[in-house]
């Protein structure tokens, strides 16, 4: 056993990563359980709009307790590693500044790129684990013909998390294991039960882990107040697509492209947020039909299935987590930029979200919508 592969398991205290640990343990691997301490839930507790006693999901003591109990149950060493500083720098601050610039960020992808598959993978390798296993629903394969590691959608399409994993590099993919990629969630719970894990029926987490209660606006207020900054001026004009001022709004961070509720103007037909102009602090609104557009510009693009393509590709492109990939042509316009032209107009293309390119189940690459 001593010379078999050592695998670090990223354990969140949830059923998925716990099941990964139990499965790999049963397969006879040397395992080390690691939980990342990312955010101190007590930090903003008690500030206006923040809960007093935090029952949040991120790094809550209950989750660490659950992860530790699983490690004890299956008999593996387990450690909590503190990456709070890096999490704040790479995930929380960008999250806040994206909203303040009128974009709608995806903190989970930033966390994957900068914490889980970067810092945690480094820690894993430093302590002697050559692989990192997580409970993500996705599949990794090596394509020997192309000589590249491929990221593919999970068998359980309702659970597929590849949208959040488009930033993985070849090196990261080569060292990562997603043992749940071929399983249905129901099967995962069944395996957890079979391994005697007490948390087999623990509910799934849904919200952003560091935003208790899911109210990101209150989080922004509390976070900025903690830093001694009141919310910078983000209020401004609500304008029509032709530039006519329809009223005032409370702050661009309160809006997301496609949003209908809470605009504060009453007109005959429903109005939607079409665009947020961060510099001019303008929120552009219009009818639902105006939400559709045919193209987007992606920045900080990461190519997975191939090196940067030299010709235009016909691919499926997904523009938010709950969106079916839509047919498009994708053209790499520079080393890390691409232009996506959809065959059919797409509703509410939202700056700050990711555009992920699929060829069937294979993630070809992805980038951030500018």
Partner 1 sequence: MGFLRRIYFDNNATTPVLPEVLEAMRPYFNERFGNASSIHHHGQETRAAVERARESVAALLGCRASEVVFTSGGTEADNLAIFGLVKPGDHLITSTIEHHAVLNSGKRLQEMGCEVTYVPVDGQGLINPGDVRRALRPNTRLISIMMANNETGVLQPVEEIGRIAAEADVYFHTDAVQAAGKVPLDVKRIACDLLSISAHKMHAPQGIGALYVRKGTLLQPLLYGGSHERSRRAGTENVPSIVALGKAAEIALCGLSDGSVQQIAELRSRLQAGVLAVVNAAEVNGGAAPRVSNTANIYFDYIEGEALVIALDLKGLAVSTGAACSSGAIEPSHVLTAMGLRPERARASIRFSLGKQNTAEEVDLALALIPQAVARLRELSPATPAVS
Contact footprint for partner 1 (CB under 8 A): 1-2, 30, 32, 35, 37, 59, 61, 64, 68, 77, 79-82, 84, 122-123, 125-128
Minimum separation from the CB atom of position 24 to partner 1 (A): 14
Give the residue with the Cβ less far from partner 1, 82 or 312: 82
Closest to partner 1 by CB, 120 vs 283, is 120
Q: Nearer Cβ to partner 1, position 41 or 254?
A: 41
Single out the catalytic residue among 58, 59, 108, 209: 209
Q: Say whether 59 is catalytic.
A: no
d(CA 346, CA 349) in angstroms, rounded, equals: 7
58 is catalytic: no
Residue closest to 343 by CA, chosen among 328, 332, 331: 328
| DSSP assignment string, 146-165 | TTEEEEE--SSTTT--GGG-
Closest CB to partner 1 among residues 65, 142: 65
Q: How many helices (H) and strands (E) does the chain have?
A: 9, 17
Q: Regarding beta strands 6-10 and 30-37, do their DSSP bridges make them parallel or antiparallel, or are they unpaired?
A: parallel
Cβ neighbours for 3, distance < 8 A, ≥ 6 positions apart: none
- What's the longest Cα–Cα distance across the chain? 72
Pull the structure tokens for residue 110.
């930033």
C-beta atoms surrounding 263 within 10 Å: 20
We find the least distance from the C-beta atom of residue 6 to partner 1, in angstroms, to be 8
Question: Which CB sits closer to partner 1, 37 or 329?
Answer: 37
CB of 59 to partner 1, least distance (A): 6
What angle (nearest 5°) sits at the alpha carbon of residue 367, between those of residues 362 and 370? 145
Closest distance to partner 1 from the beta carbon of 35 (Å): 8
Shortest distance in whole angstroms from residue 128 CB to partner 1:
6
Provide the 3-class DSSP secondary structure of residue 284. strand
List residues with catalytic annotation: 111, 209
């Amino acid at each position: 056993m001593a010379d078999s592969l050592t695998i670090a398991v990223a354990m969140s205290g949830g059923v998925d990563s716990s099941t990964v640990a139990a499965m790999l343990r049963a397969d006879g691997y040397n395992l080390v359980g690691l939980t990342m301490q990312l955010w101190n839930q007590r930090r903003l507790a008690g500030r206006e709009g923040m809960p007093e006693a935090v029952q949040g999901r991120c790094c809550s003591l209950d989750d660490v307790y659950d992860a530790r109990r699983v490690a004890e149950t299956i008999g593996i060493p387990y450690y909590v590693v503190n990456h709070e500083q890096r999490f704040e720098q790479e995930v929380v601050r960008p999250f806040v500044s994206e909203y303040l610039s009128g974009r709608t960020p995806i903190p989970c992808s930033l966390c994957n790129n900068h914490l889980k598959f970067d810092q945690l993978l480094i820690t894993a390798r430093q302590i002697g684990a050559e692989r990192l296993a997580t409970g993500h629903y996705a599949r990794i394969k090596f394509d020997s013909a192309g000589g590249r590691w491929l990221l593919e959608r999970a068998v359980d399409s309702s659970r597929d998390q590849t949208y959040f994993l488009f930033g993985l590099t070849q090196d990261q993919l080569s060292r990562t294991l997603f043992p749940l990629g071929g399983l249905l969630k129901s099967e995962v719970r069944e395996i957890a039960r079979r391994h005697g894990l007490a948390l087999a029926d623990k509910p799934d987490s849904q919200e952003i882990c560091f935003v208790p209660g899911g109210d990101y606006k209150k989080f922004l207020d509390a976070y900025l107040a903690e830093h001694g900054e009141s919310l910078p001026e983000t209020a401004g004009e609500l304008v029509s697509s032709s530039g006519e001022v329809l009223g005032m709004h409370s702050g661009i961070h309160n809006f997301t492209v496609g949003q209908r509720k809470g605009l504060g103007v009453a007109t005959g037909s429903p109005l939607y947020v079409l665009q947020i102009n961060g510099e001019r602090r303008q929120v552009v609104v219009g009818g639902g039909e105006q939400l559709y557009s045919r193209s987007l510009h992606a920045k900080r693009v990461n190519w997975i299935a191939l090196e940067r393509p030299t010709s235009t590709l016909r691919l499926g492109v997904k523009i938010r987590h709950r969106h079916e990939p839509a047919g498009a042509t994708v053209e790499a316009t520079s080393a890390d930029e691409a232009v996506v032209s959809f065959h059919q107009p797409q509703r509410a293309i939202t700056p700050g979200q990711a555009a992920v390119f699929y060829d069937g189940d294979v993630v070809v690459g992805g980038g951030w919508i500018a």
